[in-house]
Amino acid sequence: MMATQPVSFVTVRRRFDFRSIEVGRWVTEPERDRAAGRFYRALCDLMTILNGPETLVSLRGTLGLQYGIGGRPGVAAHYIPSTRQLALAKNAGAGSLAHEWFHAFDHYMGAKAFRQGKQSAFASSAWLNSLHRKPHTLNVLLGACFQTILLNEEGSQPSDLFRCSQEADRKMKVLYYARPEELCARAFEAFVEDSEPRNSFLVRGSVCSDEAKAGLYPQGEQRQRINEAFQTYFDALGRALHRQQARAG
């Protein structure tokens, strides 16, 4: 029986066609190899959950990854719109990958799905600000995801998730939790955590964390509707991308 080839960040980049992968100078070789394996498994699981090809994960090769570089105090992971890079801290990024990937996806779709938006605009913000949506069935389905997250079932008032997020911001005197891109990234976390396969490097905390108990993740019937909307959208997107690949191949 042949030994399994060890996974490296080179493997990750080649498999998913990321634009670049950067690793911090203070990351040791064992830490780097361990992280590469966790990234690889998590991204494969994400691809399975989304029913899409590798190009979906790397956003057609436009997304870069950073591991153990710079960062901000107290921030385990973040997405950098200006350079389209997803960054995880060396010792604290586990469980944040799905959240930050959706930021990257939301940003990527801003210009793809909407007209008259700024280059840096997130699709979720463009939807909430009623920017003109480009006509396409997939964009309609993506808009349905945003509506299910941000509005009540009738589409007439802010959702319970939105209200709880506004209340958290009011108590903390910030505007963070109620920003549409943050609401939608947390909703995506819940969708991923409720899906199979489970992967704690990809996501954790949408069910039992303090934030979840405060209503900052979707709950109950709204959570179910959000999961169904995301499933419908990504199933359709995945089929379209697989068809494109088949034609190109």
> What is the C-alpha separation between 147 and 100, in angstroms, rounded?
20
Which residues, in sequence order, are CB contacts of 81 under 8 Å at separation 6+? Answer: 107, 120
> What is the C-alpha separation between 103 and 188, in angstroms, rounded?
10
- Given its phi and psi angles, is residue 245 left (phi above 0), alpha (psi -120 to 50 degrees) or beta? alpha
Report the relative pairing of strands 20-23 and 64-67 from DSSP bridges. Answer: parallel
DSSP state of 219: -
CB contact at 8 A, 114 and 121:
yes
> What is the C-alpha separation between 93 and 152, in angstroms, rounded?
32
CB contact at 8 A, 168 and 156:
no
Q: What is the pLDDT of residues 109-148, one digit of tens each?
A: 999 999 876 666 899 999 999 889 999 999 999 999 999 9
pTM of this prediction? 0.94
| Mean per-residue pLDDT, 216-245 | 97
Quick one: pLDDT band at residue 74, thresholds 50, 70, 90? low
